[in-house]
Amino acid sequence: MFLLYFAIGLIFATATVMYLSVRRSHSILATQRDELREEVRRLEQLLTAKSLQEARILVKLEADNKRLEEEKAHLKMQHSILLMRPDRLAGQHLKIYELAAERLTAEMPHFAQAWLRALEHAREFVSQEADGRLPPLILLRNLGGKIRGVLGLRQKTSLIRDLEITTGS
């Protein structure tokens, strides 16, 4: 009989130990599950906050980008307007002529003497026009464009050709 009671006690003790271990493992799992849920909730909040911050930054960057594009278009328009001013165009033509003269002087061996003679002739012509000894070229062009006949020149000088190119006549 002792063995029977011992076997029943052993079964009861084993069942109690198994019940307590299962209960403890469930409580441990429940605690871990709660901790994991808390961690997931915290990470979701962090992700939501980061997404909202990135969305705000993206909206701000898009607004800045739009503003900068408008500024760029405005500056391009101002730049093109400034480039089209008559004094700017005249300066560009002058620079073009200076570069062409420098290149011709460098590339042609006898061009320098011809260029200096033409420059001296042009200076003399401009000084005569400024002193009033010659009528202005604009008046001559308006009167019929007979510059060569009035000045007694057989060929157009480079100065007259340049003036005709820049004025478009």
pLDDT, tens digit, for every residue of 90-147? 776 777 777 777 776 666 666 667 777 777 777 777 677 666 666 555 555 555 444 4
What's the rounded Cα separation, in Å, for the pair 93 and 85? 12
Every domain of the chain and the residues it spans: 1-62, 109-167
Is the backbone of residue 67 left (phi > 0), alpha (psi -120 to 50) or beta?
alpha
User: CA torsion 116→120→126→127, rounded to 10°?
Assistant: 150
Q: What is the pLDDT of residue 162?
A: 52
By the 10 Å C-beta count (0-12 exposed, 13-18 middle, 19+ buried), 137 is classed as buried
What's the pTM value of the predicted model, to 2 decimals? 0.36
